[in-house]
């Protein structure tokens, strides 16, 4: 019943445009563990009013089956600032339609009255003991996209088998229920609650448990620049700084207010590096700030840059910031826990494609480190299991600039990560140390971990499948490569097929997934490289790392070795020319 999308479809029918009709209606968006992520527009392959209604009807039925007290506890729904004029879709409209679906079945809904960071949804699920949460966001995707992200009652993103169960329920509930389109009904419903005020207050109280140096924060002369890249983060990072006793960061004026067009950037993704930070660098130079904090549009990720003595800006990789935050959070914990036995109940987590620096710190300091599959859904669920066993999970991170610094949110959170980074920098400044100098000190103490990651773009799923099939049948059927250029392969783990050459029974310990490609190669020189497909973008990604034991300080030699390994990986395993792959461009 959306006049804009139905007009699009009628127009295509009138023109007899079979190709576009096939694109819009040929296949339904797949509901996976990341929920939905697609362009806004007409048809069942896009995010629109109808597909949101259908998805929520399925989700509602699935929750009814799993929770006998759903009508007592309810769900939370949040949204970002995305909007798509030509199809009439927006995150707020989708959130209201979803709320209407639940309320029509007698389920209480805690619908945020305004835009919020993604981490507020998992926080609310846990804080109010709700059955589930939905965040309508496409995070840092291009402006035409939107998404529907789902959290379970434990406050973590869903994992299998929930995705399959919800997907089946969506298939069985496609006919919109009576009043499905009438979202105005919710405004007068006693089942509609607005958690905005209380949750904001409680969230900032909870993150203050990670504030250890309020006096230093109040006195610091360090200046920070913050950009929310046209997303939701501005107000919340300002409030976080206030909660920690820090002076507010300078905001990049052109980017501080939400704008679904993202007019000043090519991609609204701070992971893309310096291109997204051009305006931040200019403001920092003007106001004499040394540190830039950049959130992605839904404020669940954080990029950090620091001005070097040379005048150049260094943008920290996700792994480097992970090393710094891991060191900092453990140091703060250690200084506040004199009981040396307590360390045996301390855990840190990172994903399998992230740097192993936390493993090195854990080995030396005596706490536990665990590796999970890629994505915070795995780290959030594992963290909850450990916390339920009475363990302290201090920190989790992934190289894609995602950090979980506060146990109140079992997902990545760019707001708490920003203010904790600011406190760390303020503390280091009292010791006349920069973030870059401290990073070197961490590597000196625990061993250098040099990483390099990138991706190729490929829009043809058949080419991707063929590329990975070739790696699995490299020298005849079911044989993996024994070398990559001059580098000898010493181990292979394939989490698509479940093969792991290092295990006695050759079976991988981590869960496997046939629906996504992921192979990790270990090399005789101590290098590790993982190749995997992305769940949300047409990319084949790779992650590589060389770990040196403490005391090996020839960083330049390590970097050169890793560069050569990556070049060999691209040439022999990706074969970009043969496979017509498009390189990442800065």
Residue with tokens 């004026």: 253
CATH topology for 448-583 is TATA-Binding Protein (3.30.310)
pLDDT at 445: 95
Q: pLDDT category, 586, cuts 50, 70, 90?
A: very low
**Domains of the chain: which residue ranges?**
3-202, 210-446, 448-583
The two structure tokens encoding residue 121: 């949804």
Give the H or E element holding residue 294.
strand 291-295
Please report the beta strands in 296-407, taking only residues with DSSP state E, as ranges in sequence order: 302-307, 313-315, 346-351, 368-372, 392-398, 402-404
Q: pLDDT category, 553, cuts 50, 70, 90?
A: low
Looking at residues 553-570, what average pLDDT do you find?
92
**CB 321 within 8 Å of CB 355:** no
Percent of the residues in the chain that have a pLDDT greater than 70, as a whole number: 99
Q: Distance from CA of residue 420 to its chain's centroid?
A: 18
> Residue 480 to residues 488, 526, 570: CA-CA distances in angstroms?
12, 18, 16
List the single range of 119-133, 268-282, 290-304 with lowest mean pLDDT: 268-282
Q: Tens digits of per-residue pLDDT, 532-551? A: 998 778 899 999 999 888 87
The Cα 416–Cα 9 span in angstroms is 44
| Known active-site residue 139 | yes
User: Of 296, 303, 292, 305, which is closest to residue 265 (Cα–Cα)?
Assistant: 296
Query: Any bridge partners for residue 157, and if so which?
Result: 151
User: Of 356, 330, 327, 326, which is closest to residue 343 (Cα–Cα)?
Assistant: 330
Q: Quote the mean pLDDT of the chain.
A: 95
> Residue 271 to residues 295, 318, 415, 541: CA-CA distances in angstroms?
10, 8, 16, 14
Looking at residues 266-277, what average pLDDT do you find?
90
Task: Please state, as a whole number, how many other Cβ atoms lie within 10 Å of the Cβ of residue 83.
Answer: 19
The Cα 515–Cα 507 span in angstroms is 18
Query: Any bridge partners for residue 76, and if so which?
Result: 110, 133
**CB 143 within 8 Å of CB 261:** yes
Strand, coil or helix: 375: coil
pTM, entire model: 0.94
Task: Please state, as a whole number, how many other Cβ atoms lie within 10 Å of the Cβ of residue 501.
Answer: 14
Give the H or E element holding residue 359.
helix 357-365
CATH H-level, domain 210-446: superfamily: Alpha-D-Glucose-1,6-Bisphosphate, subunit A, domain 3 (3.40.120.10)
**CB 425 within 8 Å of CB 222:** yes
Q: pLDDT category, 340, cuts 50, 70, 90?
A: confident
Asked if domains 3-202 and 210-446 share a fold, the reply is yes
Query: Any bridge partners for residue 116, and if so which?
Result: none
Give per-residue burial for 453-471: e unless 16+ CB within 10 Å, then b: bebbebeeeeebeebbeeb
Strand, coil or helix: 31: coil
Q: pLDDT category, 338, cuts 50, 70, 90?
A: confident
Residue with tokens 């999308």: 5
Q: Tens digits of per-residue pLDDT, 492-516? A: 999 999 999 999 999 999 988 888 8
Give per-residue burial for 354-381: e unless 16+ CB within 10 Å, then b: bbbbbbbbbeebebbbbbbbbbbbbbbb
**CB 163 within 8 Å of CB 106:** no
Q: Tens digits of per-residue pLDDT, 139-181? A: 999 999 999 999 999 999 999 899 999 999 999 999 999 999 9
Q: Tens digits of per-residue pLDDT, 17-46? A: 999 999 999 999 999 888 999 999 999 999
Would strands 75-79 and 109-111 be described as parallel, antiparallel, or unpaired?
Answer: parallel
CATH match of 3-202 with 2.170.190.11: no
Q: Which of 87, 90, 91, 139 is catalytic?
A: 139
Strand, coil or helix: 144: coil
The two structure tokens encoding residue 48: 């629109």
């Amino acid at each position: 019943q959306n006049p804009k999308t139905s007009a699009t479809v009628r127009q295509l029918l009138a023109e007899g445009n079979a190709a576009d009709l096939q694109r819009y209606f040929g296949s339904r968006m797949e509901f996976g563990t990341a929920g939905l992520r697609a362009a806004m527009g007409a048809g069942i392959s896009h995010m629109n009013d109808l597909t949101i209604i259908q998805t929520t009807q399925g989700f509602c039925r699935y929750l009814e089956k799993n929770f006998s007290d759903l009508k007592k506890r309810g769900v939370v729904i949040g949204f970002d600032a995305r909007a798509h004029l030509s199809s009439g879709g927006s995150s707020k409209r989708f959130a209201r339609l979803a709320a209407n679906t639940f309320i029509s079945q007698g389920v209480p809904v805690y619908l945020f009255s305004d835009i919020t960071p993604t981490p507020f949804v998992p926080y609310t699920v846990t804080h109010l003991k709700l059955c589930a949460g939905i965040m309508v966001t496409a995070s840092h995707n291009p402006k035409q996209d939107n998404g529907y992200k789902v959290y379970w009652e434990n406050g973590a993103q869903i994992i299998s088998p929930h995705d399959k169960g919800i997907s089946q329920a969506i298939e069985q509930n496609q006919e919109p229920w009576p009043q499905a389109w009438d979202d105005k009904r919710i405004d007068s419903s006693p089942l509609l609650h607005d958690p905005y005020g209380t949750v904001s207050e409680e969230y900032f109280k909870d993150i203050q448990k990670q504030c250890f140096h309020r006096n230093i924060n109040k006195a610091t002369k360090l200046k920070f620049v913050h950009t929310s890249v046209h997303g939701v983060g501005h107000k919340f990072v300002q409030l976080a700084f206030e909660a920690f006793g820090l002076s507010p960061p300078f905001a990049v004026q052109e980017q501080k207010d939400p704008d679904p067009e993202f007019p000043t950037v090519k991609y609204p993704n701070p992971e893309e590096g310096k291109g997204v930070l051009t305006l931040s660098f200019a403001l920092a130079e003007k106001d004499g700030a040394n540190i830039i904090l950049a959130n992605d549009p839904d404020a669940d990720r954080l990029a950090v840059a620091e001005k070097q003595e040379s005048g150049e800006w260094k943008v920290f990789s996700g792994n480097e910031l992970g090393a710094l935050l891991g060191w900092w959070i453990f140091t703060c914990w250690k200084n506040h826990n004199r009981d040396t036995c307590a360390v045996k109940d301390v855990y840190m987590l990172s994903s399998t494609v992230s740097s192993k620096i936390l493993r090195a710190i854990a080995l030396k300091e005596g706490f536990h480190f665990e590796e999970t599959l890629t994505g915070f859904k795995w780290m959030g669920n594992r963290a909850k299991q450990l916390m339920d066993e009475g363990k302290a999970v201090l920190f989790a991170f992934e190289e894609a600039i995602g950090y979980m610094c506060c146990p109140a949110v079992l997902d990545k959170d760019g707001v708490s990560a920003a203010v904790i980074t600011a406190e760390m920098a303020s503390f280091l400044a009292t010791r006349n140390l920069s973030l870059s100098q401290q990073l070197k000190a961490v590597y000196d103490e625990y061993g250098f971990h040099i990483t390099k990651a990138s991706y190729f773009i490929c829009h043809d799923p058949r080419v991707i499948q063929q590329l990975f099939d070739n790696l699995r049948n490299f020298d005849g059927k079911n044989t993996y490569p024994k070398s990559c250029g001059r580098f000898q392969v010493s181990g292979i783990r394939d989490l698509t097929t479940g093969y792991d050459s290092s295990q006695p029974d050759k079976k991988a310990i981590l869960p496997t997934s046939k629906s996504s490609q992921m192979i990790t190669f270990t090399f005789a020189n101590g290098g590790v490289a993982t190749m995997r497909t992305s769940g949300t973008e047409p990319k084949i990604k790779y992650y590589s790392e060389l770990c040196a034991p403490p005391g090996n300080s020839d960083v330049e030699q390590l970097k050169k070795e890793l560069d050569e390994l990556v070049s060999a990986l691209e040439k022999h395993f990706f074969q970009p020319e043969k496979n017509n792959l498009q390189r990442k461009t800065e």
